[in-house]
Amino acid sequence: MSDLAELEKQALAELNSSSDETGLRAWHSKYFGKHGAIPAAVKKVSEVPPAERRAYGQEANRIKEGLIKAYEERQQKQSETQLARELQSDALDVTLPGRPIRRGRLHVATQDMRRITAIFADIANLTARLIRRDTAPAIPITSPM
């Protein structure tokens, strides 16, 4: 059982020394990953003599739950610290104008009709210029756009 107590002390010390999110992830992988120390300790219950098995299993589960709780608290504290840091660096300036409100737009059919009308107006203007090129100065036909 002393190996479990030593594992708990070592895990808590490393957890408290991790200072960023990547350190927390590495700690979690080291102790709770597929080949982590805690799953290995729980699997070791089968190797313990039957008389001590129950106490060893209870102690292993207690340490596992305690480390999970400590990890979640540390992760919560880390996210709160990061949020506070972001709020300090990206302070909100309330004197700046807000985002513009998006207004509505024309119906798709209306947009298409205006495009088609503009195309035909351009064709008519081109035709009028070609016809009158030699006889008189061109009078441009304006599109409704």
Number of neighbours of residue 42 by Cβ within 10 angstroms: 16
pLDDT bracket for residue 83 (50, 70, 90):
confident
Q: What is the pLDDT of residue 135?
A: 64
- Non-local (6+) Cβ contacts of 18 within 8 A are 24, 26, 27, 74
The CA-atom distances, in angstroms, between 11 and each of 46, 59, 71, 72, 76 are 23, 15, 10, 14, 18
Q: Does the pLDDT value for residue 145 go beyond 70?
A: no
Q: What is the pLDDT of residue 124?
A: 86
Q: Does the pLDDT value for residue 101 go beyond 60?
A: yes
Comparing 83 with 90, which gets the higher pLDDT? 83
Is pTM, for the whole model, over 0.85? Answer: no
Q: Does the pLDDT value for residue 106 go beyond 70?
A: yes
